Chain A
Amino acid sequence: DIQMTQSPSSVSASVGDRVTITCRASQGISSWLAWYQQKPGKAPKLLIYAASSLQSGVPSRFSGSGSGTDFTLTISSLQPEDFATYYCQQANSFPRTFGGGTKVEIK
Chain B
Amino acid sequence: QVQLVQSGAEVKKPGASVKVSCKASGYTFTSYGISWVRQAPGQGLEWMGWISAYNGNTNYAQKLQGRVTMTTDTSTSTAYMELRSLRSDDTAVYYCARRGGILTGYAFDYWGQGTLVTVSS
Which of A18-26, A45-53, A70-78 contacts its partner?
Answer: A45-53
Does A97 interact with chain B (Cβ within 8 Å)? yes
> Which one of B46, B105, B108 contacts A44 once the chains associate, using CB atoms below 8 Å?
B108
Which of B24-32, B74-82, B111-119 contacts its partner?
Answer: B111-119
- Contacting pair B107 A89 (CB below 8 A): yes
- Contacting pair B50 A43 (CB below 8 A): no
Could you say which residues of chain A place their CB within 8 Å of the CB of B61?
A: 95
Chain A contact-residue range equals 20 to 34
B49-83 to A contact mask, C-beta < 8 Å, 1/0: 11000000001011000000000000000000000
Could you say which residues of chain A place their CB within 8 Å of the CB of B107?
A: 34, 46, 49-50, 55, 89, 91
- Contacting pair B59 A34 (CB below 8 A): no
Q: A65 to B15: give the CA distance in the assembly, Å.
A: 45
- Contacting pair A49 B35 (CB below 8 A): no
Q: A99 to B43: give the CA distance in the assembly, Å.
A: 11
B75-112 to A contact mask, C-beta < 8 Å, 1/0: 00000000000000000000101001000111111011
- Contacting pair A44 B44 (CB below 8 A): no
Report A48 CB to chain B, min CB distance, Å. Answer: 8
Does A96 interact with chain B (Cβ within 8 Å)? yes
Q: A43-B95, A95-B62 are in contact. Are A49 and B109 (CB under 8 A)?
A: yes
Report B101 CB to chain A, min CB distance, Å. Answer: 11
Report B55 CB to chain A, min CB distance, Å. Answer: 16
Report B111 CB to chain A, min CB distance, Å. Answer: 4
Name the residue on B nearest A101 (C-beta).
Answer: B44
- Contacting pair B111 A44 (CB below 8 A): yes
- Contacting pair B45 A98 (CB below 8 A): yes
Report B1 CB to chain A, min CB distance, Å. Answer: 11
B17-40 to A contact mask, C-beta < 8 Å, 1/0: 000000000000000000101000
Does A66 interact with chain B (Cβ within 8 Å)? no
Chain B contact residues, CB within 8 Å of chain A: 35, 37, 44-47, 49-50, 59, 61-62, 95, 97, 100, 104-109, 111-114
